[in-house]
């Protein structure tokens, strides 16, 4: 099963919820040319559920999804399945790159298990489960190619989009999402202004957004990302757009 990457075309932080989590307005697009792969394998190195990968998986969100499904009432079925099977994960999406690789892997795992065990969970039920695991997962479960995403990632509105051809650059810089958000919190931002800007962006196509607006206007995390990782300044100054909290950047092909 392919677990596709995503890009943020704009990302505006518009407030905090009662837990102190950041509320965002963003345009997500699916990147069909960049994906990880997950499948069930007969290869086993240990008892019970295991992920086999060249990627370090000790605290992988997929394991959290496995335990969540167990607690949701499917422990017996899952333990039976993984008596003789493992989950094989082939990583192609760069990590710490703002492309949602971990969230996409988690969504694909939920879909794979739902289909394999015929759990008959609806897309909305899977989305409701995913909210307990983290942001962005809901978008990957939705099946949308482009969407305006709000809240903590759980509000997803499909968007009929026009997406230009994009050239990607993947700097060899691991950007820690939590640290970038902490750096964002050190500055004062006008959440009301951010919301007004987001409402303009969400009605425009991806092509229009990238033609009209500057990189620092579209992504509130670009400046804090540069503050933490000074090598990212080169991409800010050379008019690259940032996806998520970085470090992946892109330009529209002319």
Catalytically active residues are 6, 136
Q: Which residue has the tokens 């890009």?
A: 7
Cβ-based neighbours of 81, under 8 Å, separated by 6 or more: 40, 113, 116, 117
Measured distance CA(145)–CA(205) in Å, rounded: 13
Residue 99 contacts residue 54 (beta carbons within 8 Å)? no
Query: Is residue 253 a contact partner of residue 164, using CB atoms and an 8 Å limit?
Result: yes
Buried b / exposed e along 28-62 (16+ C-beta atoms within 10 A): bbbbeebbbebebeeeeeeeebbbbbebebeebbb
Q: Which of 14, 2, 4 is nearest to 149 (CA)?
A: 14
Looking up tokens 């496995």 gives 66
* Closest by Cα among 72, 104, 246 to 175: 246
Residue 128, SS3 per DSSP = helix
Strand partners, 7: 29
């Amino acid at each position: 099963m392919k677990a596709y990457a995503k890009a943020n075309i704009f990302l505006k932080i518009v407030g905090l919820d009662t837990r102190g989590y950041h509320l965002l307005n963003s345009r997500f697009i699916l990147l069909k040319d960049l994906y990880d792969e997950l499948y069930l394998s007969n290869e086993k190195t240990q008892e019970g559920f295991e992920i086999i990968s060249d990627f370090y998986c000790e605290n992988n969100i997929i394991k959290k999804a496995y335990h969540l499904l167990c607690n949701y009432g499917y422990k017996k079925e899952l333990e039976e399945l993984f008596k003789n099977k493992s989950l094989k994960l082939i990583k192609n999406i760069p990590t710490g790159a703002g492309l949602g690789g971990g969230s996409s892997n988690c969504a694909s795992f939920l879909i794979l298990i739902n289909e394999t065990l015929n759990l008959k969970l609806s897309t909305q039920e899977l989305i409701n489960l995913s909210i307990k695991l983290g942001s962005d997962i809901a978008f990957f479960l939705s099946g949308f190619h482009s969407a305006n995403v709000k809240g903590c990632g759980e509000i997803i509105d499909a968007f009929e989009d026009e997406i230009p051809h994009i050239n990607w650059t993947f700097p060899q810089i691991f950007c820690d999402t939590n640290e970038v958000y902490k750096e964002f919190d050190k500055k004062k931002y006008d959440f009301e202004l951010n919301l007004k800007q987001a409402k303009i962006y969400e009605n425009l196509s991806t092509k229009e957004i990238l033609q009209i607006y500057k990189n620092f206007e579209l992504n509130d995390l670009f400046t804090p990302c540069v503050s933490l990782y000074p090598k990212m300044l080169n991409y800010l100054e050379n008019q690259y757009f940032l996806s998520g909290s970085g470090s992946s950047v892109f330009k529209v092909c002319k």
